[in-house]
Structure 1
Amino acid sequence: MALQPVPSEMMLDSVAEYHGEDGTWDVERLAPWLPAEVLQKVTAVAVDPLSTEKDTIFWTRSSNGCFSTKTAYLLANPPQYDSRQQLGKQIWQLPVPERVRCFSWLVYLGKIATNQLRFSRKCSPSSSYYRCEDVTHLSCPP
């Protein structure tokens, strides 16, 4: 992330060495090393000049603060959620009887034995029938 190689003696510098006693960041000292957008984010963080806490390294992508290849992988490859996947989860949270949730789940999975599905599986001679051609006709009167 640095604009140029950071000298090894600077690698052990603490945060306190980059801000003044009043808590303002020493931008002139940081600017040669950080891209402008990163410098802007760093300087937006308020520093408590009276803090006596020791500097520590903390990986914010994990609950314990320790870096791991798993958290780095998840950062580089965030899980993708699509609306269809969300719908599947929402079905099980519906405030309806269990049998309606189960039926809805089967519709969602495309497992209701409509004539269209039966025909595609070679279980029916025709894909049309006056009552259950496809899922959209499930609520039609007999």
Structure 2
Amino acid sequence: MGRGHRAVLRTADVVVEAWADGREECLAETVQALVECCAQVGDAVPDACMLFVLVGESDEALLVAVLDEVIHQMEANGRMTVDVSVDERTVTTRGQVEVRLATVPVEAVERVATAPAALTVHGVSFGCVDGMWRARLQLDL
């Protein structure tokens, strides 16, 4: 099936869904869906890269932590993510992921909606079902 994502904007929230063969790819697809809710990044060329390591007590907690960082970059630092990569760390640091957000100033992209000022999520599901990783969550706007 490969990988992909979609987001459905509603009056007060957005439903984000993503799927991929692997956990890290599904995390990246979820980030792309979130970004596309509020901006058209087009061919924007990143001029900065943020690198951070996250640990989640569960896959759902990890997903929320990654999305929280993306929103923090938008709101606190004025940086829009235009590319993302997620890699699981080595065996000795199992459960941790290294996230790289390639970003541009928010002024460099066309804003299509207001980004969530804070991450308020409902109905988070993230896991492997029948060999395919799937993420689904509802974000308040």
TM-score (norm 2): 0.20
Q: Specify which structure has the higher proportion of helix.
A: 1
Q: Specify which structure has the higher proportion of strand.
A: 2
Report 1 or 2 for greater relative contact order, CA contacts < 8 Å, sequence distance ≥ 6: 2
Larger radius of gyration: 1
